[in-house]
Structure 1
Amino acid sequence: MKRVLWFAPTLFGLIFCLGSLTACQTPDTLLPKVTVTAASPPLRIGLSDCASEFGHLVDRDLPQNVSLAEIQLIQGNDRTLLEDLKEGFLDAALVYHVPDKEEHWFNPVALDGLVFIVHPDNSTLDIGLAEATALFAGSVLDWSTIGGPELEVKLISHEPGAGARIILEERLMAELPIAGSSMIASSGESLRSNVLMEPGAIGYSMMGNSKDMKALTVEGITAIPANTTDQSYPLTAPLYFVSSGEPDGELRGFLAWLQSPEGQAKIGEKYGQIR
């Protein structure tokens, strides 16, 4: 990440410098006052595990003049990140879900999309919303039931509280639980690895994190930035910048860059743009 770091001199360094000045001056010479400016504390920004590629874009392209503070991106489960924000351990969080909109200040910074990923040898190309719901409810046991190959379905799911899982549960499952037979992956990387190992597997991810995976079209629409920007993709989902109150100072500067034309152009390489 391009950071602007401000370092304050150490106490030992000051003593050494002052000692050197004293040795070179006559006793009647007054030493100039030395003012020490503390470094700006780092901005602690939580980042959804399901949006790790968003972090790579920011890490690579954030201009040096955006903030005087170091920006620390801390990846984690969405639910955990929001708890850490509430407890004051984070300055802000980039997540897919805002549980209590009255207690948080939030603004979208990108438009992502929930995608269904399968093994590259699976001949299935498209899935309907009702079919996806039936699959993850455990009602479909073989791909041939929904027009696919004769393969046993293997469900792979994110852990509770993960951003992609929250979207799946709220947008598709409603009151239906995710099948108990699902394998629970500890991370997005683990989920993708397990899908590649099992011909009949289906998992879900976010569009921005699905590089090199076979993602099914949903209701005939492909998950690409253009289709989440205009929200024609059925499972488009915003990535939110969430803070405890309206951001100010360097935190506001960071958000302003994310929403600026320059920032949105960078984000648009892998995500839909909000403007």
Structure 2
Amino acid sequence: MKKKIFLPILLSFFFLSGCAAWIDRGEAITAVGSSALQPLVETVGEEFQSENPGKFINVQGGGSGTGLSQVQTGAVEIGNSDLFAEEKDGVDASKLVDHQVAAVGIAPIINSEIGIENISMSDLKKIFTGEITNWSDVGGANLPVVLLNRAAGSGSRGTFEKWVLDGANAKTSQEQDSTGMVRQIVTDTPGAISYVAFSYITDDVVPLSIDNVAPTDENVTTNAWVIWSYEHMYTLGEPSELTAEFLAFVLSDEIQENIVGDLGYIPISAMKVARDWEGNLITE
């Protein structure tokens, strides 16, 4: 009887030792953070794995704040973020290396019953600060405004509030961490408004133009549409081994030309302007 128990224990020991050796070889890495960037990293991760059997890319959401804090402590190899590390309190940007893999526009979206397609930046700010509470005040249906914000730590929220609220505080409202859930709630709730990355816009919701400027990739590339951000994949110091290999794959012409745009992101090479972490346009 003792021999029968001993053998499985011995086999388990060798199995666990083998797993440890597998991990030690760096054959799996984890990327955590921005839900806006998550679809791209997941898709590219699957493509990378198909071309490199035995190498695994684990992708998780959680928001940009989570991505930056996790990579800063070394808990994960890559921290995905819609924001520059310099924009997040508690993050030491000097320890992180920024790999900008795409740009993404962020647009306000509303429920289809509201009945407008354009809004001024001033009125959009008043809606999110609570000064405007009924859509009839901006030419829409007689419906109360139902605000839906992103959760604290969301890069999309940080970008939206930076360019729309300009330092003002958003009205307290329901918050959602999942971009997909945000879109679903706006779809199902008369009077609802929120904001999502361009890649999440579907026919179920109405994206708003702002001051007659449409939320398009072309307008982002020229900064005519100002609510946009870079998509960052941060590493703690310079990446090595599998992490460096994966990042190079993400930035390769193959991925930038064939996958990035198809998923609703903007390839870095398409950008006609550049911005620093404070939002200033960079000129040569």
Q: Which of the five TM-score ranges fits, normalised by the shorter chain?
A: 0.7 to 0.9
More helix by share: 2
* Root-mean-square deviation (Å): 2.7
Distance in 1 (CA, whole Å) between partners of 2:180 and 2:190 is 17
Confirm whether residue 90 of structure 1 aligns to residue 79 of structure 2: no
Q: For residues 53-98 of structure 1, what are the alpha-carbon distances to aligned partners after superposition, in whole Å with 9 as ceiling and x for unaligned?
A: 3234324533644686311111112112211112211101121113
1:274 partner letter = I
1:193 Cα deviation from its structure 2 partner: 2.0
Distance in 1 (CA, whole Å) between partners of 2:235 and 2:68 is 9
Q: Compare CA radii of gyration and give the structure with the larger one.
A: 1
Whether the aligned pair in 1 keeps the contact of 2:111 and 2:192 (CA below 8 Å) is yes
Within a 5 Å distance, the mapping from 1:141-220 to structure 2 comes to 141-180=133-172, 182-212=173-203, 213-220=205-212
Whether the aligned pair in 1 keeps the contact of 2:83 and 2:229 (CA below 8 Å) is no
1:136 Cα deviation from its structure 2 partner: 0.5
Which residue does the alignment assign to 1:251? 243
CA change 1:63–1:211 in 2 (3 A) is farther
Gaps of 5+ in 1: 1-10, 16-35
Distance in 1 (CA, whole Å) between partners of 2:137 and 2:251 is 44
Whether the aligned pair in 2 keeps the contact of 1:106 and 1:241 (CA below 8 Å) is yes
2:236 partner letter = S
Describe the SS at the equivalent of 2:99: strand
CA change 1:238–1:186 in 2 (3 A) is closer
Within a 5 Å distance, the mapping from 1:51-62 to structure 2 comes to 51-62=37-48
Which residue does the alignment assign to 2:118? 126
2:133 partner letter = L
TM-score by length of 1: 0.79
Describe the SS at the equivalent of 2:152: coil
Q: For residues 228-275 of structure 1, what are the alpha-carbon distances to aligned partners after superposition, in whole Å with 9 as ceiling and x for unaligned?
A: 344432212111111111222221121112112111121111111101
Which residue does the alignment assign to 1:44? 30
Whether the aligned pair in 1 keeps the contact of 2:148 and 2:174 (CA below 8 Å) is yes
Q: For residues 99-140 of structure 1, what are the alpha-carbon distances to aligned partners after superposition, in whole Å with 9 as ceiling and x for unaligned?
A: 333232102111101111111222110122222211101111
Distance in 2 (CA, whole Å) between partners of 1:255 and 1:67 is 17
Whether the aligned pair in 1 keeps the contact of 2:62 and 2:177 (CA below 8 Å) is no
1:210 Cα deviation from its structure 2 partner: 2.4
Q: For residues 4-54 of structure 1, what are the alpha-carbon distances to aligned partners after superposition, in whole Å with 9 as ceiling and x for unaligned?
A: xxxxxxx849x9xxxxxxxxxxxxxxxxxxxx9943331111141233332
Q: For residues 172-230 of structure 1, what are the alpha-carbon distances to aligned partners after superposition, in whole Å with 9 as ceiling and x for unaligned?
A: 223211102x2222422222222122211111111122234321123323333343344
Describe the SS at the equivalent of 2:106: strand
Confirm whether residue 273 of structure 1 aligns to residue 259 of structure 2: no
CA change 1:59–1:122 in 2 (3 A) is farther
Describe the SS at the equivalent of 1:256: helix
1:166 Cα deviation from its structure 2 partner: 1.0
Gaps of 5+ in 2: 1-9, 87-92, 270-284
Distance in 1 (CA, whole Å) between partners of 2:62 and 2:124 is 26
Whether the aligned pair in 2 keeps the contact of 1:80 and 1:161 (CA below 8 Å) is yes
Distance in 1 (CA, whole Å) between partners of 2:197 and 2:253 is 23
CA change 1:231–1:68 in 2 (3 A) is farther
Distance in 1 (CA, whole Å) between partners of 2:241 and 2:126 is 48
Distance in 2 (CA, whole Å) between partners of 1:57 and 1:103 is 28
Whether the aligned pair in 2 keeps the contact of 1:47 and 1:55 (CA below 8 Å) is no
